[in-house]
Amino acid sequence: MESSTEKVVAVIMVGGPTKGTRFRPLSFNTPKPLFPLAGQPMVHHPISACKRIPNLAQIFLVGFYEEREFSLYVSSISNELRVPVRYLKEDKPHGSAGALYYFRDYILEDNPSHIFLLNCDVCCNFPLPDMLEAHRRYGGTGTLLVIKVSAESANQFGELVADPVTKELLHYTEKPETFVSDLINCGVYIFSPEIFSAIQDVSKHREDKANLRRVSSFEALQLAARNLPQDFVRLDQDILSPLAGKKQLYTYENMDFWEQIKTPGISLKCSALYLAQYRITTPHLLASGDGSKSARIIGDVYIHPSAKVHPTAKIGPDVSISANVRVAAGVRLINCIILDDVEIKDNAVVMHSIVGWKSSLGKWSRVQAEGDCNAKLGVTILGEAVTVEDEIVIINSIVLPNKTLNVSVQEEIIL
């Protein structure tokens, strides 16, 4: 087949409102995939990475959020990248392999030679063109992006064993009890269209099992215990594990950065990782300033063009400022995400924190945390429309929306 006529499509799994409870209070009014990291919606990062894939025909977002929550974003990003982006709403969760199969007619309509599958809640450098090249070289059904992590943290993810020479996936196990390997699955895949028959086989096998009237009591028990609907097919347990070691799946090792965006604390870390990546990919997005005509900028900082920042403010490193934010004189911002329409008054300090939409921080107030993104209260989070009065200090706390704080708090969750 001529490589010039080859088409590639990308599918990005965005999940739905039942998931992402760990992302509260930031996910109350905004779907988690649209939460901004480094000034762009979370899902924007994998989408713009897809733009670098040669012969990309379409991008699909698959999830069970209401379509209206994504319609504005989808139309604006399609125009901006000049690639068709479509949102496909599942009627119910199907598992990531099941969802792929459920929408197979859409996904295969351009007759693609390859299908990328990405999880939206993954933060990484997305080396997609390199992965595609490797996948073609391997000649298998699928290639997984993998990364080495510390042995202590590996069991939180899907661990896998790959042949060090051929890179074939030999063994795959989801969140194992005992240590298997320090190589983990990054949640970024590329498949050839044969993957659809593999998914179909799983559904068919389940149907056959269910139809076996004279099942042994042990099998009947097992079926009842698992009782997964026919059209719910998990990628990891139902596809990757069984196909491992059959010369069908291969691995491509990511040597750069990778995080799973589980909590607001991790999202702050990921925002910083993406800001650092802008230096390489899109340096024009980063702010600069020496404190004379504009604010003094240290390290990687994103400031939305509509934000107003006083020249005596000092900002960075690792700060992202969204639309219509007002930053007054003498303000100091370090490692934080400031969301739309926030007002930060004179001499306030924000460190290791996320400040929710329409919040207001009084003069000489401090909103800060230790900055350990893995600790429960390692990052301070103010929900939407929180008012912090003058000279109030908020440390290592989470504040739910619409609260007014007129006394200082530390290590608290303000409901």
pLDDT value for 2: 46
Of 244, 260, 276, which one is at a domain's C-terminal end?
Answer: 260
For residue 208, the 8-state DSSP code is: H
Gap between the Cα atoms of 109 and 86, Å rounded = 13
Q: Do 254 and 315 fall into the same domain? A: no
Q: Do 226 and 351 fall into the same domain? A: no
Place of tokens 């706390």: 397
pLDDT value for 75: 96
Tell me the chain's radius of gyration from C-alpha atoms: 23
Angle (nearest 5°) at CA 339 between 373 and 378:
15
Q: Do 241 and 372 fall into the same domain? A: no
What Cα–Cα distance (Å) separates residue 372 from each residue in 241, 265, 369, 381?
34, 8, 8, 13
| CB-based contact 46:95 (threshold 8 Å) | no
Element (H, E) at 80: helix 67-81
Q: Do 18 and 166 fall into the same domain? A: yes
Residue 24 lies in a domain: yes
Residue 279 lies in a domain: no
Residue 229 lies in a domain: yes
Q: Do 235 and 334 fall into the same domain? A: no
Residue 274 lies in a domain: no
Gap between the Cα atoms of 57 and 61, Å rounded = 14
Place of tokens 């870390």: 269
pLDDT value for 180: 79
pLDDT value for 123: 98
End-to-end CA, the chain:
60
For residue 101, the 8-state DSSP code is: H
- Tens digits of pLDDT across the chain (415 residues): 445 578 999 999 999 886 557 888 888 888 999 999 999 999 999 999 999 999 999 999 999 999 999 999 999 999 999 999 999 999 988 999 999 999 999 999 999 999 999 999 999 999 999 999 999 999 999 999 999 998 888 888 888 999 999 999 999 987 777 887 899 999 999 999 999 999 998 888 877 776 665 555 555 555 554 567 778 899 988 999 999 999 999 999 999 999 999 999 999 999 999 999 999 999 999 999 999 999 999 999 999 999 999 999 999 999 999 999 999 999 999 999 999 999 999 999 999 999 999 999 999 999 999 999 999 899 999 999 999 999 999 999 999 999 999 999 999 999 8
Gap between the Cα atoms of 111 and 90, Å rounded = 22
- The domain spanning residue 213 has which CATH number? 3.90.550.10
pLDDT value for 343: 98
* Distant-in-sequence, close-in-space partners of 81: CB < 8 Å, separation ≥ 6: 47, 48, 51
| CB-based contact 158:141 (threshold 8 Å) | no
In 107-255, beta strands by DSSP E: 114-119, 122-124, 142-148, 158-162, 169-174, 183-191, 249-253
| CB-based contact 187:254 (threshold 8 Å) | no
Residue 361 lies in a domain: yes
Q: Do 214 and 324 fall into the same domain? A: no
Q: Which domain holds residue 348?
A: 286-414
Calculate the CA 141 to chain-centre distance.
Answer: 25
Strand partners, 301: 319
Q: Do 242 and 291 fall into the same domain? A: no
